[in-house]
Each structure stands twice: as C-alpha cells, then as structure tokens.
Structure 1
Amino acid sequence: MKQFLIFTIKILLILFLLLVVLDVVYTRVYLQSSNRGKIDYVYNSGAQQYDVIILGSSRANNHFVAPMFEEKGLKAFNFGMSGSHLFEASLMLKLMVERKYSIKNLILETDLNLSNEHRSEGISSKFMPYIHHSKTIAAHFSEEQDFNSLYFIPFYRYIAFDSQIGFREMFFNAIHKKTVHLDNRGYYPLGNKKGNMKNDIRALMPLQNKYYEEIKGICKANNINLIAVMTPMCTNTKGLNYFEKVNQIYPEIHNYENAVEGDRYFSSCGHLNDTGARKFTAVIMSHFFKK
C-alpha cells in the first residue's frame, strides 16, 4: 500500500511538472506572436498613436471601413471582433491604455451588445495566454466564476479552450502563420451572397451595462473622444424599437440603425456588405470627422 501511494504521488508530481512545462512553452509562443489576431497584436505591441479606433462585435468589424479614414489622413484601425461582447471591448481598451496607446477618437458599436454583460467564450479565451503576465487581464477576469481554475492551475486554460488556444493555434503562432484579421486595417468586408434576411430581436432588452460604463470611464480618464453608435439592420427585423429603448437608457448613443436601407446593401439582416459598409462609413465620417 505504501509503495502504491508513493508511486501515485510520483505520477501526480510528474504530471504537475509536465503541465507547468507545457504552460511555459505555450505561453512563450504566444508572447512572441503578433500577427494572428487583434488581441495578440495589441498585447505584444508598444505605444501607438491613432486618430480613430473602432471597437465592438462583428457589427463593428464588418461595418466600419478603416482604410476610408486613412484616405482622409486619419490613422485608423478596426479592432472589432466577430462574436465579441462589451466584456472584450472594455478589456481591449484597457490593454491599449496599458500599452500607452494615444487615441483621439473611439468609435464604439453599442447596440445589441448592450443586452448582456457576459463574456464571449470564443473571444475572451484569446486573452488567456497572457493572464499571468498582465495585471489588467487578471483583474478583468477576477470576478469570473472559473477565475481560480484558469489562473492557478497550470495549463488548465489551454485545455479548457483547446479549440481557441490549444495545440493547433499555438503551432500556427509558433510558425507565424498569418490570418486575415489584420488585413484592411482590421476591417473585414462581406460579400453580396445573402444570408438570413429576417431577424427577430424582440426578446432583447438593453441594460445599463457595466462594461459600457467602464469604457466611458476609461475614455474620460484618458481624454479619448467616445463616439458610441448603433449600426444598421435590415428593415425585416422584428423588434426595431430595441434601438429606441437603448436611447431611453443612454441618450448619448447615436442611432444609425436606419442610416443604410435596402437589402442590396446587406449580407445578412444584421450585417452590411462591403458596399453598404462603405456607404455607412461615409455617413459616420461626414457627421463626426468633417475637416
């Protein structure tokens, strides 16, 4: 029995050491990567200066054509991420401040994402490799139920989010295989192939959102001009009064839900195609960036 216990302890000790080694190896790879996605691009960058940055979900990523700002002499980048929530947008802005970014204007897509305060598992996992190296990231996740497991158990986060930051993604980072996420100054254009052109958002209710409040506070503290906007949806959407409800809570959020109309400008009910995005970006530029 004694020998069995000793053997078991040795196995557990070896397993623990293996997890520690794997954790160190994976993390070192991610600490040297900056061309796979927007999170590692920001985390592994130094001080930057931007006239305009864009944050939000796919309704930011697909709707704001960053190169159009550049054509007008404004240094811009679209940091919107498909599937993300305001949880991730707030953390991205915190990281930029931590990295000494100088930002004049922040365009924040603030509409459907106001209806929840949850993290997006697929996007938030991309911050996990850096949780031990950034007090900002650790603090942001500190109130999450699984924080202790993610923070204190070696390699656990890489197992828990294997499809996002596991071996395959680590390997691609190690060989510096690029993605399209950083192309077009972060803007991802959609084609004319139609997806679902009907939508129902009647069940959504906007909240006095904790992470939107955080973003407002960060902007105020760092002299960033915050331009919070609601972006277009197709006219077939049921529950378009959601956008009016947003303004009842936050009158300062600019409602551009109907700034672009006509199915020919949409790839799906909630996402403009490239033509529609350029039309919408032109509207935003004319309203907020007149020279």
Structure 2
Amino acid sequence: MKKFLLYITKIFIIVVLTAVLLDGLFTFSFLHSRNRGKIENVFNSDSQKFDVVILGSSRANNHFVTQMFEDKGIKAFNYGMSGGHLFEAALMLKLMIERKYEIKNVILEADLNLSSETDSHSVSALFLPYIHNSDIIKEQFKEKEGFSELYYIPFYRFIKYDSKIGFRETFLTAVGKKTNALDNLGYYPLEKHKNGNMKNNIVNLNPLPHNKYYEEIKTLCKENNIKFIAVMTPMCENVIGMNYFDKVKKAYPEIYNYENVVVENKYFSSCGHMTNSGAKLFTARIIQDFFTENSRSLNKYKK
C-alpha cells in the first residue's frame, strides 16, 4: 500500500510539474507576439498616440472604415472585435491606458450589447494567457464564474479554451504566423452574399438601465481626458423590434443614434452588418459630424 501511495504521489508531482512547464511555455509565446490579434497587439505594445480609437463588437469592426479617418489626417485604429461584448471593450481600453496610450477620442459602438453584462467566452478567452502578468486582466475576470480554476490551476485555461488559445494557436503564435486582424487598420470589410441573413428580430431585447462595462468605459474616458463618443450603428430595413434603439436613447441619452443613417438592404451583408459600401457611407457621416470644422448640430441624433 505504501509503494502504491508513493507511486501515485510521484505521478501527481510529475503531472503538476508538466502543467506548470507547459503553462510557462504557452504564456511565453503569447508574451512575445504582436501580429496575430488585437489583444496581444495592445498587451505587448508601448505608448502610442491616436486621434481616434474605435471599440465594440463586429458592428464596430465591420462598420468603421479606419482608412477614411487617416485620409483626413486623423490617426485612428479600429479595435472592434467580432463576437466581443462591452466586457472586452472595457478591458481593452484599460490596457491601453495602462500602457500610456495618448487617445483624443474613443468611439464606442454601443447598442445591442447594452442588453448584457456577460463576457464573450470566445473573445475573453484571448485575454487569459496574460492573466498572471496583468492585475488589470485578473481583476476583470475575478468576479466571473470559474475564475479560481482559471487562475490557480496551471495550464487549465489553455485546456479549457483549447480552440482559442490551445496548442494550435500557441504554435502559430510562436512561429509568428500573422492573421488579417490588424489589416486595414483593424477594419474588416464585408461584401454582399446571396445567403446573408437579412432578417432579425430584436423585440425581446432590452438595454440594461446601468450597464457596468459601458459605465466603466465612460468613466475611464472622463478620468483620462478622452472625448467619449458612443453611437448606435445601422441595421437593415427588415429588422423587427427597432424600438429597441428608442429604449437605448431613453436609458442613455448621451448615445448618438445612427441606426437609420443607412437602411437599404443593398448596403448590408447581413441584417446587422453593413457591406464595405454601406460602411463607407456610415463612416463618412461620422467623420462629417464629429471631425470636421463645420460639424453639424447633433441634437437630432440625441432625441
């Protein structure tokens, strides 16, 4: 029995040491990469200067044509992340501020995600390789279910989210394999597809009266002298339940409503995402309204 217990103890120690070693190797790979994704690009960066930083979900990533800002002499980058929620947007801004980014304006796509304070498992997982190297990331995840396992059990986070930060992603990160996430200054253009979903029902969607992560972003901007521009972006003409945007206006009167600036289906790849052509129309309006000397009155967008 004594020999058996000793054998089990040795196996346990070997497993733990292996997990610690693998955890260190995987983490090392992510800590030395800047060209695969937006998160590691920010986390492993030094101080940068931007006139405009764009945050949000795919409705930011696919809707703000960053080059159009640059063409006007406005240094910008689109940090919108497909599938992302306000949880991840707030965390991205915190990391930028920690790295002493000088940002004049933050444009936040704030509409559908105001209805939830949950994180996006597929996107938030991409922050986890750095959880032992960042108090900011640690604190952001601390209140989430399963935090203790993710933080204290070595290599567990890489196993649980294998499809996002597992062996394949770690290997590609280690060899410096690029993705298109940073192309086009972070903007990802979409085209019209025959099978695009041109129907959407948001009747049962309701914005939270006080979204924690939206308020965090708003407060961070105020504390760091960053102009905060929150906008609702367009949806196609087939959407059922468009009064959701009226609910957002009532709960958050400071958010500018641009949901009806582009409505024709020909400008949409799917009901919630514009094509490159639609995004150009939308971006031109944003630049005109906020970044020209003769910017028009925005009162009608606040109603």
Alignment TM-score, normalising by the size of structure 1: 0.99
Per the TM alignment, residue 214 of structure 1 is displaced from its structure 2 partner at its CA by 0.4
Q: Distance in 1 between matches of 2:263 and 2:75?
A: 29
Per the TM alignment, residue 265 of structure 1 is displaced from its structure 2 partner at its CA by 0.6
> Which 4+ residue blocks in structure 1 deviate beyond 2 angstroms?
none
SS at match of 2:230: strand
Q: Distance in 2 between matches of 1:250 and 1:192?
A: 32
Per the TM alignment, residue 192 of structure 1 is displaced from its structure 2 partner at its CA by 1.5
Look up the equivalent residue of 2:249 and give its one-letter code: N
> Pairwise mapping of residues 158-197 of structure 1 onto structure 2 (< 5 A)?
158-194=158-194, 195-197=196-198
Cα-to-partner distance string for 1:95-143 (whole Å, 9 max, x where unaligned): 0001110100000000001010000000000000000000110011111
Aligned partner of 1:97 in structure 2 is 97
SS at match of 1:3: helix
Look up the equivalent residue of 1:87 and give its one-letter code: F
SS at match of 1:196: coil
1:200 to 2:208 alignment: no
Look up the equivalent residue of 1:255 and give its one-letter code: N
SS at match of 2:107: strand
Per the TM alignment, residue 145 of structure 1 is displaced from its structure 2 partner at its CA by 1.4
Aligned partner of 1:156 in structure 2 is 156
Aligned partner of 1:237 in structure 2 is 239
SS at match of 1:238: coil
Aligned partner of 1:275 in structure 2 is 277
Q: Distance in 2 between matches of 1:96 and 1:139?
A: 16
Per the TM alignment, residue 193 of structure 1 is displaced from its structure 2 partner at its CA by 1.3
Q: Distance in 1 between matches of 2:116 and 2:131?
A: 23
Aligned partner of 1:59 in structure 2 is 59
Q: Distance in 1 between matches of 2:139 and 2:264?
A: 44
1:209 to 2:204 alignment: no
Q: Distance in 2 between matches of 1:260 and 1:242?
A: 17
SS at match of 1:118: coil
SS at match of 2:164: helix
Aligned partner of 1:78 in structure 2 is 78
| Matched-pair identity in % | 62
> Pairwise mapping of residues 243-262 of structure 1 onto structure 2 (< 5 A)?
243-262=245-264
Alignment TM-score, normalising by the size of structure 2: 0.95
Unpaired runs of 5+ residues, structure 2, are 294-303
> Pairwise mapping of residues 30-49 of structure 1 onto structure 2 (< 5 A)?
30-49=30-49
Equivalences, count = 291
Aligned partner of 1:14 in structure 2 is 14
Aligned partner of 1:110 in structure 2 is 110
SS at match of 2:229: strand
Look up the equivalent residue of 2:167 and give its one-letter code: F
Per the TM alignment, residue 203 of structure 1 is displaced from its structure 2 partner at its CA by 1.2
Q: Distance in 1 between matches of 2:236 and 2:67?
A: 25
Q: Distance in 2 between matches of 1:98 and 1:153?
A: 27
Per the TM alignment, residue 235 of structure 1 is displaced from its structure 2 partner at its CA by 1.1
Look up the equivalent residue of 1:253 and give its one-letter code: I
Q: Distance in 2 between matches of 1:131 and 1:100?
A: 20
Per the TM alignment, residue 261 of structure 1 is displaced from its structure 2 partner at its CA by 1.9
Unpaired runs of 5+ residues, structure 1, are none
Look up the equivalent residue of 1:39 and give its one-letter code: I
SS at match of 2:108: strand
SS at match of 1:227: strand
Q: Distance in 2 between matches of 1:147 and 1:168?
A: 24
Aligned partner of 2:226 in structure 1 is 224
Q: Distance in 2 between matches of 1:202 and 1:2?
A: 65
Cα-to-partner distance string for 1:36-66 (whole Å, 9 max, x where unaligned): 0000000000000000010000000000000
Cα-to-partner distance string for 1:152-203 (whole Å, 9 max, x where unaligned): 1000000010000000000000110000000000000001214110100011
Q: Distance in 2 between matches of 1:150 and 1:67?
A: 38
Cα-to-partner distance string for 1:189-225 (whole Å, 9 max, x where unaligned): 0012141101000111101200000001100000010
Per the TM alignment, residue 150 of structure 1 is displaced from its structure 2 partner at its CA by 0.6
Per the TM alignment, residue 70 of structure 1 is displaced from its structure 2 partner at its CA by 0.4
Q: Distance in 1 between matches of 2:236 and 2:161?
A: 34
Aligned partner of 2:300 in structure 1 is none
Per the TM alignment, residue 84 of structure 1 is displaced from its structure 2 partner at its CA by 0.4
